[in-house]
Amino acid sequence: MASHQLGLSLHDAARGMGVVFTQENEPVDRNVQVNGMNFHYLEWGDAANPTVLMLHGNSQQGHSWDFASLPLSEHYHIIALDQRGHGDTDWAPDGDYSLDAQVRDIDGFVEVMGLDNFTLIGHSMGGRNSYVWASRNSHKLRGLVIVDTGPQTARRGSDRIRRFRELPDELDSFEEFAQRVMEYTGRTREQVLGALKYSIRERADGKWTWKYDKVMRTPEHRPASWASEQLWEAVAKISCPTLVVRGDRSDLFTEETMQRMQEVIPDCATVTIANAGHLVQGDNPPDFNAAVLDLLRRIH
């Protein structure tokens, strides 16, 4: 069975997760050249509405925002970008997946797309990229949403993610990948099958593997990350209205780090989403969407 036939449809999956929407919107796949690479993104809603740019976490892609994009696209113009080496965007030819390279990508994408006065939402890796970019470009933003990430990361969550990423990444079937993700996330088979199709691909030899560039899985090729002190300095430079979101079951982003971010960022609200782990927007989309809408309604 082809992967696109597996699992629930987007709209049925969203209803199953309690997402409230009145229009059965679908995204349009688009591509744009940035910094000599092809970048794929999903566009939802009317371009005349206020724009929201969404950046996914490591090993994810633009569809990781579907449960948020679907309802928000009724009143906002949503752009969910596949960042370098992820989804259907090109892999970095030089293997550079550093924070600096990804922030330059945001610079280029914003310029090519002519974005201004928009809202930026980022989760995990995308959240880090977002707040560092915002620290230099708050004047271009209506608002910023940082999802389950900050300048300090809890060791327990980092170790858990590392163990998952180090598991064999070439499996014999789509179903094997689905079982692994079910065990990792605790989600039902149908929910997993509907989303997994965007994150893995079938090779010519019949094996299945992740879409993202496996160079990112190789310790010797991982770029040196910014020090926590540098990230705190960046956070302190954010001047646009900001919302920091945490999952109450997150083992990666602590309550203490979130509270310190609220103290450091001048115009900052925080919210902890119940019944959610690190992937907040996927674990409890109704409450996540309500929190984001509160900010959007305040700044637009």
Q: What would the pLDDT profile of 41-87 be if each residue is shown by its tens digit?
A: 999 999 999 999 999 999 899 999 999 999 999 999 999 999 999 99
15 vs 8: CA distance, rounded Å: 10
Q: Which of 34-38, 224-228, 236-240 has the lowest mean pLDDT?
A: 224-228
Instruction: Give the residue from 116, 141, 128, 119 showing the smallest Cα distance to 293.
Output: 119
**Residues 93, 101: contact at Cβ < 8 Å?**
no
Percent of the chain with pLDDT over 90: 77
116 vs 120: CA distance, rounded Å: 11
- Residue 78 identity (one-letter amino acid): I
Tokens of 33: 């050249």
pLDDT at 25: 98
Task: Answer yes or no: is pLDDT of 37 > 80.
Answer: yes
102 vs 104: CA distance, rounded Å: 5
Q: Look up the pTM and report it.
A: 0.93
The count of domains in the chain is 1
Task: Answer yes or no: is pLDDT of 211 > 70.
Answer: yes
Range of the domain at 11: 3-299
pLDDT bracket for residue 188 (50, 70, 90): confident
CATH value at residue 27: 3.40.50.1820
Task: Answer yes or no: is pLDDT of 221 > 50.
Answer: yes
- Bridge partner residues of 245 (DSSP): 147, 271
- More reliable by pLDDT, 84 or 179: 84
Q: Crossing angle of helices 99-113/125-137, nearest 10°?
A: 60
